[in-house]
């Protein structure tokens, strides 16, 4: 008989899970009170990369996922993802040479460009540096649109989508048997918690203590502009990308400043930085800003794995990069019962999550 699964949360991670599980022949119910494509996923830069926060095991998962994005795009050209490359003139205070020295021995294609070549590659960039790094294999995805795409694919593969709110897990002894929702109790062989920053609360109902943080991230969005930049670009105080519809999304480091207390003034600062960073014939027009919370386990790394029989957790920052890998590899783990080497370092056991259930 087909294994039954409940996926709680239809952001980019839960929707990728639902699709892969349905494709693998599982009976899938995807539960979310909203059909918008995820809270964090709807407020994300969507830069796919393998340089962020990187010991080698994390690099390996990120790189695997980037290759999955490329493969998915080749099969589904309508997927809102493109491999547009990145230009780094700076990297969150880490010297570019360190980024280069750490990653190129692993085969990551980073290369140096001088000021002149940089101007040729991105002529509208008003940044004065002697050298920069480019990485042609990094990309850019619209995470909420990708979530909606994955959800549709899941439904086409036989998954059910239930617009409801999950409240707490159902247990029989030490086994998690499903979820209590606003619309009644749902039972399943495996319940997958993919509820972003809310995953900790749901895990708590299973007696699992999952240490999560939710750092805020402010992004501004412009109205459509003529093509100004083609890559994702990181400068000293701004990261930005231009979408195919011409809108530019940009965020930045506030040096520890609490932007969540005053996002309006943070947005004004970001827009001013953007205007000073790009040479545009027509002035850029501000559209709006979003303040998202990044679902971030306490040690910064994803939590992916089963902490108790019948339960599986998928919560992470960098979910835009990681969704295709997590969908595929976690589905493998759930359907075979075997741990996958690429996911092993991310198992929830590292937090000794088991509580007093």
Ligand X SMILES: Cc1cc2nc3c(=O)[nH]c(=O)nc-3n(C[C@H](O)[C@H](O)[C@H](O)COP(=O)(O)OP(=O)(O)OC[C@H]3O[C@@H](n4cnc5c(N)ncnc54)[C@H](O)[C@@H]3O)c2cc1C
Q: Which is nearer to ligand X, 9 or 85 (CB)?
A: 9
Regarding 8 and contact with ligand X (CB under 6 A), the answer is yes
Give Cβ neighbours of residue 140 (< 8 Å, ≥ 6 apart).
Answer: 46, 47, 48, 81, 82, 84, 232, 241, 243
Give Cβ neighbours of residue 110 (< 8 Å, ≥ 6 apart).
Answer: 51, 99, 100, 103, 104, 133, 134, 135
Q: Which is nearer to ligand X, 12 or 21 (CB)?
A: 12
Q: Which is nearer to ligand X, 119 or 216 (CB)?
A: 216
Regarding 29 and contact with ligand X (CB under 6 A), the answer is no
* Cross-strand partners of 134: 87, 111
Alpha-carbon gap, residue 136 to 111, rounded angstroms: 9
Alpha-carbon gap, residue 331 to 333, rounded angstroms: 5
Q: Of how many residues is the chain composed?
A: 357
Give the rounded distance of the alpha carbon of 2 from its chain centre: 29
From candidates 38, 80, 266, 310, binder to ligand X by CB under 6 A: 38
Q: Which is nearer to ligand X, 280 or 293 (CB)?
A: 293
Of residues 321-340, those binding ligand X (CB under 6 A): 321
Q: Which is nearer to ligand X, 228 or 323 (CB)?
A: 323
Alpha-carbon gap, residue 52 to 191, rounded angstroms: 30
Shortest spacing between CB 21 and ligand X, in angstroms: 15
Regarding 300 and contact with ligand X (CB under 6 A), the answer is no
Q: Which stretch binds ligand X (CB under 6 A): 93-101, 104-112, 313-321, 349-357?
A: 313-321
Regarding 195 and contact with ligand X (CB under 6 A), the answer is yes
Alpha-carbon gap, residue 216 to 230, rounded angstroms: 27
- Give contact residues for ligand X (rule: CB under 6 A): 8-14, 31-34, 38-41, 43-47, 143, 165-166, 194-196, 198, 202, 217, 219, 251, 292-295, 316-321
């Amino acid at each position: 008989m087909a294994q039954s699964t409940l996926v709680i949360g239809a952001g980019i991670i839960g929707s990728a899970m639902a699709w892969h599980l349905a494709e693998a022949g599982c009976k899938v119910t995807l539960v979310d009170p909203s059909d918008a494509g995820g809270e964090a996923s709807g407020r994300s830069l969507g830069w796919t990369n393998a340089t962020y926060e990187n010991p080698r095991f994390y690099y390996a998962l990120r790189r695997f996922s980037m290759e999955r994005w490329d493969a998915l795009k080749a099969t589904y050209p309508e997927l809102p993802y493109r491999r547009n490359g990145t230009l780094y003139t700076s990297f969150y205070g880490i010297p570019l040479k360190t980024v280069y020295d750490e990653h190129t021995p692993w085969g990551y294609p980073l290369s140096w460009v001088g000021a002149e070549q940089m101007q040729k590659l991105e002529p509208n960039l008003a940044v004065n540096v002697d050298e920069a790094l480019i990485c042609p294999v990094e990309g850019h995805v619209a995470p909420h649109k990708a979530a909606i795409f994955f959800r549709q694919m899941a439904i086409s593969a036989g998954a059910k989508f239930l617009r409801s709110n999950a409240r707490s897990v159902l247990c029989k002894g030490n086994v998690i048997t499903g979820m209590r929702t606003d619309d009644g109790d749902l039972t399943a062989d495996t319940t997958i918690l993919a509820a972003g920053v809310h995953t900790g609360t749901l895990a708590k109902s299973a007696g699992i203590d999952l240490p999560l943080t939710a750092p805020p991230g402010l992004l501004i969005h412009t109205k459509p502009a003529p093509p100004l930049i083609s890559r994702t670009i990181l400068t000293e105080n701004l990261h930005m990308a231009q979408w195919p519809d011409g809108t530019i999304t940009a965020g930045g480091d506030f040096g520890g400043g609490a932007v969540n207390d005053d996002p309006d003034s943070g947005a004004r600062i970001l827009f001013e930085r953007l205007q000073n960073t790009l040479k545009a014939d027509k002035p850029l027009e501000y559209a709006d800003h979003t303040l998202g919370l990044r679902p971030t386990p306490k040690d910064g790394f994803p939590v992916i794995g089963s902490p108790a029989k019948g339960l599986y957790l998928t919560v992470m920052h960098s979910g835009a990069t990681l969704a295709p890998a997590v969908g595929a590899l976690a589905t493998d783990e759930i359907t075979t019962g075997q741990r996958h080497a690429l996911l092993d370092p991310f198992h929830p056991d590292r937090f000794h999550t088991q509580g007093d259930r």
